[in-house]
Structure 1
Amino acid sequence: MHSPFIIELNEQNFRQVLESSMQSPVLVHFWAPMSQESAQVIPDLQALTQQYNGAFTLALLNCEQEQNIASQFGVQSIPTIALFINGQAVDGLGGPQGIHEIQQMLVKHLPSQDELNFMQAVELIRQGEHAQALPLLNQLSQERLQKGDAKLALADCLIETQDFVQAEQVLSHIPLEYQDNDYKSLIAKLDLHNQSANSPEIQLLEASYQQNPDDHKIANELALSYHQVQRDEEALEMLWTILRANMNALDGEIKKTFMDILAALGQGNNVAGKYRRQLYSLLY
């Protein structure tokens, strides 16, 4: 398995790898082809390393090929697992171990899954991959999601994926100590959107619709205008109110606009998912 976080230890690199534990933990697995138990756990260790995504480095030492290094470490039995942090062995396991036992040892020293997801999401945001970061943030526990840094990251992703209503809700609950320049930048983006999303043309259509709530043609125009400025939840709610009473309103044009907006939002969008379920419940 090719990964920057999985290394074969040898005479040339073992000192450098151990020194790297000053920056990031290194898990050394002492194994040998003659020891079936030590070889069998390697794929699980590699998968676990990938899952942790850089929180530690896995260093594999073949004790048959590298007897000199194994003796320097004082390895008494194979397999042996040792975790190095800041150049020192801080924990370890001797004898055959399942991946669960190894994971339990790592949990004591490494970031939680919540922190790993958050770190990965922050890196994706830094790369401009907000749509990929959003599911990772949504996986966070409620406790972690209540922290200011997580809320700011979530609001950033929601704005970039054009879920402005949800973004506004998140930003309204940012703790005072996190209302920094990043927070002010997000508020400014939201204000710009709100200004463009409330154009004179939309205000005129809204006034016409208020005066003529049974005019489905005006409703359809207003829904399309809302969609153009990403006010999709308002558009869908208005169209849904009409469809619930008459699925063939405006000779099917209302349903077509409704379906077009759902399609434009895509399968992963929470708002679209909500209105799809409502539509299916009515149809089936």
Structure 2
Amino acid sequence: MQPPYIVDLNEQNFRQVLEGSMSTPVLIHFWAPMSEESVQMIPSLKALTEQYSGAFTLALLNCEEQQAIAGQFGVQTLPTIALFVNGQPVDGLGGPQPLEAITAMLAKHLPSQDELTAQKALELTQQDAHAEALTLFATLSEEYQSKGEIKLARANSLLETNQFDLAEAMLDSIPLEYKDNYYKTLVSKLDLHKQAADSPEIQSLEAALHASPSELKIVAELALQYHQVGRDEEALELLWGHVSRDLNALDGELKKTFMDILSALGQGNPIAGKYRRQLYSLLY
């Protein structure tokens, strides 16, 4: 089943589709079964439209079946592509075209892939889907990732997913002109975490481990405490120091705790990814 932004143009929906260009650009592809080149372009055009996720509508017009509509446009060559914005044709291409030429034409009139991706990521942050937003932010170009508003949004999502070290590094890189009230709110959130992350109980366990570095029960308990306050990299590093030497340390409890933390962090977490690779290299 085709998505709603890919349609077959006919007499019944012709006017409605063109009126739709008042809000969303419409790209009409004039084709016919007798024109092999025009048929061959359809899969690529559909794939390109999917990439834009509804930023424009692809309208496929079979000129053999819809001769009256094709005649209104005076199409002389197949394939022909025409882009409509606000009900009017604004650009077009005639004859077989490489996908790059079509993409370049669209780029003059539509948001870039970075803009679309950033918009989707920002929408996800509004829905508290921060892990998914971070995945999208990571796909942006380096130039786009350097924008202050993007850095602030990523820092917020990092805080919300308890990736505090990465959030702090991101906040440290915010340009001066973006250090507004929102920035200060994120810094305050990070400061509150730091205060909570150094509780008297953690300090007591750290002192006990310093006095007895080989006491594995203290190692396990301190690692869990670190994890509970979002100090996951410290937790994994502490556990790895012992698991890497003996997978069965503390009757396998350290390895289980290590794996539980990795699982809790999820597949997209870069810290978890680092320690997963180290574990796999040890196992295999």
Establish whether TM, by shorter chain, passes 0.5: yes
- Per-residue CA deviations over 1:14-45 (Å, capped at 9, x if unaligned) read 44433443433221111233333323322221
Aligned partner of 1:72 in structure 2 is: 72
The one-letter amino acid paired with 1:109 is H
Residue 116 of structure 2 aligns to a residue in which SS? helix
- Per-residue CA deviations over 1:105-161 (Å, capped at 9, x if unaligned) read 323433332222212212222333222222111111222111112112212222222
Aligned partner of 1:125 in structure 2 is: 125
Aligned partner of 2:281 in structure 1 is: 281
Is contact 2:226-2:234 (8 Å) kept?
yes
Is there any run of 5+ residues in structure 2 with no aligned partner, and where? Answer: none
The one-letter amino acid paired with 2:85 is I
Alpha-carbon distance between aligned partners in 2 of 1:223 and 1:189, rounded to the nearest angstrom: 23
Cα deviation for residue 225 of structure 1 reads 0.8
Change (3 A) 1:6 1:172: same
Alpha-carbon distance between aligned partners in 1 of 2:5 and 2:242, rounded to the nearest angstrom: 55
The one-letter amino acid paired with 2:55 is A
Change (3 A) 1:5 1:180: farther
Is contact 2:227-2:235 (8 Å) kept?
yes
Aligned partner of 1:209 in structure 2 is: 209
TM score, norm. by length of structure 1: 0.87
After superposition, where does 1:126-275 map in structure 2 within 5 Å? 126-275=126-275
Residue 21 of structure 2 aligns to a residue in which SS? helix
Aligned partner of 1:104 in structure 2 is: 104
Alpha-carbon distance between aligned partners in 2 of 1:211 and 1:58, rounded to the nearest angstrom: 69
Residue 91 of structure 1 aligns to a residue in which SS? strand
After superposition, where does 1:18-37 map in structure 2 within 5 Å? 18-37=18-37
Cα deviation for residue 12 of structure 1 reads 4.8
Is contact 2:131-2:268 (8 Å) kept?
no
Alpha-carbon distance between aligned partners in 2 of 1:246 and 1:32, rounded to the nearest angstrom: 68
State the identity %.
Answer: 66
Change (3 A) 1:84 1:181: farther
Change (3 A) 1:89 1:138: same
- Per-residue CA deviations over 1:177-218 (Å, capped at 9, x if unaligned) read 323444344334333433332222112212322333333322
Aligned partner of 2:84 in structure 1 is: 84
Alpha-carbon distance between aligned partners in 2 of 1:263 and 1:11, rounded to the nearest angstrom: 55
Alpha-carbon distance between aligned partners in 2 of 1:160 and 1:234, rounded to the nearest angstrom: 18
- Per-residue CA deviations over 1:49-93 (Å, capped at 9, x if unaligned) read 111112222122232343333222221122210122344323211
Alpha-carbon distance between aligned partners in 2 of 1:176 and 1:19, rounded to the nearest angstrom: 45
Change (3 A) 1:11 1:248: closer
Moved more, 18-27 or 40-49: 18-27
Residue 58 of structure 2 aligns to a residue in which SS? strand
Alpha-carbon distance between aligned partners in 2 of 1:37 and 1:7, rounded to the nearest angstrom: 20
After superposition, where does 1:51-62 map in structure 2 within 5 Å? 51-62=51-62
Aligned partner of 1:115 in structure 2 is: 115
TM score, norm. by length of structure 2: 0.87
Is there any run of 5+ residues in structure 1 with no aligned partner, and where? Answer: none
Q: How many residues align?
A: 284
Cα-Cα RMSD? 2.5
Alpha-carbon distance between aligned partners in 1 of 2:25 and 2:185, rounded to the nearest angstrom: 35
Residue 41 of structure 1 aligns to a residue in which SS? helix
